[in-house]
Structure 1
Amino acid sequence: MNTADLGLPVDVPSTALFTDHYELTMLQAALKAGTAERRSVFEVFTRRLPEGRRYGVVAGTGRVLDAVENFRFDPGVLGFLRERSVIDAETLDWLAGYRFSGDVWGYQEGEVYFPGSPIMRVEGTFAECVLLETVILSILNHDSAIAAAASRMSSAAGGRPLIEMGARRTHELAAVAASRAAYLGGFTSTSDLAAGFRYGIPTVGTSAHAFTLLHDRERDAFQAQVDSLGRNTTLLVDTYDVTEAVRTAVEVAGPELGAVRIDSGDLLLVAHRVRQQLDELGATETRIIVTSDLDEYAIASLAAAPVDAYGVGTQLVTGSGHPTCSMVYKLVARAESADPTEPLVPVAKKSTGGKTSVGGRKWAARRLDEHGVAEAEVVGTGPVPEELKDRQLLVRLIEDGRVLSRESLDVVRERHVAARANLPLSATQLSRGEAVIPTEYV
């Protein structure tokens, strides 16, 4: 596997160090205690949704599968651990042969989730499962936060195209993952070429204010761009005077001008004025694209404006105020010995302060009302009720250490559209509120 597919520098051979120090010290202690090989079940879930969010979006599953497959302790990684005396020689020897050989179940990527939803379940020995905690949470927390913001923005846009353009507002590797998550959540293209290269996402872009400022006159800049990219290009019209720029743009490109972009000012007011001016100049098919620190609320406020597409950067790649989903990875069941036939015993954290968890290996299903609309997320540890058996949400992703299948982003995008459509209408409201459906434990 090419590590570039993970969004990693090409000189990073594995994902094994995308973990916390204490995962390895736990492993060492468990190996010494003879408990490392006990069969265990870990689950990923969140105790609550970010404030004001009505649903979450599962994103990053495909990247998790790649990360687990590439979780290898090669000589360079082992040398680093040895040099730093992170763990002892016996544990290093154990890690040299590490290959995850367990099972992973999860909600399908693009699905929605709610508080308590067991969106991923990792099964195997304690030793092999505990090592994966940090990298799984790192991916799911980041990607799901971006996808949730993207989904809200997509709903607010009402079918108008959305361009992801936040690469310059975050870490260069996070930008690639953010673009993938945004595309999953409903965005149609990205400005980030690395995301286009790795994930096949359509890429777009024309010019910035610097290009206009480079030339002696705005007209010269527009002419150079049209000569290079054709009349269907998008001209940036707010470097100086918008009204004069729109007039010049149509004079240079003709009524076949593809689009104009507005990046500042009162976007609602300016969009109406630009639309009227374009129509008066005969450029009735020229589209208007707006950018400038948009979020879902700003997009919703432009619903009545003559805007054809939105470009979103900072607010998207930071999760629109919620850059993480606060997902956790908890041991919920384990055997009492290393005997592989030993039954599993439910375990759970019972501390105060709202950080309790529910023990036991769980299933999850979504109950629908008579109209086919979701009415509850049902989570249980016993037999699945007959009426919910065909509504179960967890599918096997990895079996005996082998990834069963990988899905295209287009399939995942379509799944998310369908999942969101099956929620109550209030799910897409931007006003503050609780999860749109309750989580019931049975």
Structure 2
Amino acid sequence: MSNPFGIVSDEAILEGRATDAYFERTRATLEHAGRNPRVVAEVTADQFPTGEFEVFAGVHDVATLFSGRAVDIDALPEGTLFDGGPVMRIEGPYLEFAELETSLLGFLSQPSGFATAALEARLAAPDSQVLSFGARHVHPAIAATVERSALLAGLDGFSHVAAGDVLEREAGGTMPHALMLIFGEGEQDAAWTAFDEAVPEDVPRVALVDTFWDESAETLLAAETLGDRLDGVRLDTTGSRRGDFRHITREIRWELDARGREDVDIFCSGGLTPETIRELRDVADGFGIGSYITGADSVDFALDIVEIEGEMTSKRGKLSGDKQVYRTADGGHEVRLADQPAPEDGDALLEPVIRDGEVVREADLEAATERCLADAETVGFGSDH
């Protein structure tokens, strides 16, 4: 089988085949009519600032998609928080990019949604370790997109091995319930000991302690079994058996501390949300969050022509004219026509990405993360919690 998982190929995306059919009909029509005007098109989610900020992600893939096309592109730097106005501007002959619109919007919409949810999780426990555990909830082909979005938003790591290969980062993780079940009830100590003997020294010794018995009982057995080699314990109790998760976590902390094991961290996972993380952040040391990130709504971006051959135009409900957006000193987000003066205290946000088909701004994930966290503080993202 040449395509066993039915995945749209890189070649189809780059050639413009990963598109909606009406763009092919549009090309045929315009070529028949001999029309290919120079246009300015903008990607927006909201026309005016709304006060509800989201994280902009996916610019690096758009740059790859448009490389070699005779267009100019400006965009917000990746990691910028936005709440309205254009996030990207494309200028060039329309038929240079007509069929790329579908892929372009996909490259921006879903990663921006993932990154926004991940930022909510990050800020729910800013002083704790927070990891992305959600790749199992999406198609394997986009696992690296999930994990990259999580890193962009400031999460400390992720679990997906192949995504780590793509991102050149080491995936993290210790043991699943399957390992404990295979050793069986009453053999938890054997499972933890075998794990300790088998895995590399740089892998944290974090014991899963909620498989068969009371969580405190398994925790104390793990501490006795591994001694000073135990770095932490993980609670991944299913919701139907969890009870008061905060109370369980506090109880474990008490029992460990009472035996002089303040050094053992408590890590929580399993259906967590920013709200549940906030409830636990003073009694747990780290969190794994999955479906909250992968289940995030995509940002509803659209691409619209706003200028044709230098003349302002737009469809109904959209704002005509080439624009610039600004971040003001008070964290505001302001939209103006590109030929209007900038606000006195405003910094222009749309910056060159492509000039005549050449990529002029390379992706920098670390810089994007720094920008995301700084922007979150500037605009007050998550400040109501």
| Residue 286 of structure 1 pairs with residue 259 of structure 2 | no
Q: Pick one of 78, 81, 103 that aligns with 1:109.
A: 78
Q: Is the 8 A contact 2:17 2:99 kept in 1?
A: no
Q: Pick one of 302, 314, 317 that aligns with 2:294.
A: 317
2:141 match: 173
How far does residue 384 in structure 1 lie from its aligned partner after superposition?
2.4
| Residue 209 of structure 1 pairs with residue 177 of structure 2 | yes
3-state SS of 1:121 partner: strand
| Residue 261 of structure 1 pairs with residue 234 of structure 2 | yes
How far does residue 386 in structure 1 lie from its aligned partner after superposition?
6.3
Moved more, 197-206 or 138-147: 197-206
Q: Which runs of 5+ in 1 are unaligned?
A: 1-7, 70-98, 336-343, 351-355, 432-442
After superposition, what is the alpha-carbon deviation per residue over 1:21-58, rounded to whole angstroms, capped at 9, x for unaligned?
Answer: 1111111111111222x100110011279x9x831110
- What TM-score does the superposition give when structure 2 sets the normalisation length? 0.90
2:3 match: none
Alignment-mate amino acid for residue 291 of structure 2: T
- Paired residues, what number? 368
The 1:263/1:153 distance shift into structure 2, 3 A limit, reads same
How far does residue 153 in structure 1 lie from its aligned partner after superposition?
1.0
After superposition, what is the alpha-carbon deviation per residue over 1:201-259, rounded to whole angstroms, capped at 9, x for unaligned?
Answer: 34101110000011141111111111123594111000011122111101111034111
The 1:12/1:396 distance shift into structure 2, 3 A limit, reads closer
1:133 match: 101
Q: Which runs of 5+ in 2 are unaligned?
A: 1-5
| Residue 222 of structure 1 pairs with residue 192 of structure 2 | yes
Q: Is the 8 A contact 1:332 1:348 kept in 2?
A: yes
- What TM-score does the superposition give when structure 1 sets the normalisation length? 0.79
Matched ranges for 1:306-385 at <5 A: 306-319=283-296, 323-335=297-309, 344-350=310-316, 356-368=317-329, 373-385=330-342
Q: Pick one of 252, 255, 259 that aligns with 1:277.
A: 255
Q: Is the 8 A contact 2:352 2:361 kept in 1?
A: no
CA RMSD of aligned residues (A): 2.2
1:187 match: 155
Identity value in percent: 26
3-state SS of 2:78 partner: coil
Q: Is the 8 A contact 2:83 2:333 kept in 1?
A: no
Q: Is the 8 A contact 1:293 1:313 kept in 2?
A: yes
Alignment-mate amino acid for residue 245 of structure 1: E
Distance 1:148 1:279 in 2: 36
Moved more, 156-165 or 203-212: 156-165
Q: Is the 8 A contact 1:363 1:384 kept in 2?
A: no
The 1:422/1:210 distance shift into structure 2, 3 A limit, reads same
Q: Is the 8 A contact 2:47 2:319 kept in 1?
A: no
3-state SS of 1:255 partner: helix
Distance 1:386 1:325 in 2: 27
Distance 2:364 2:126 in 1: 24
The 1:379/1:270 distance shift into structure 2, 3 A limit, reads farther
Distance 1:429 1:421 in 2: 8
Distance 2:141 2:129 in 1: 24
1:17 match: 17
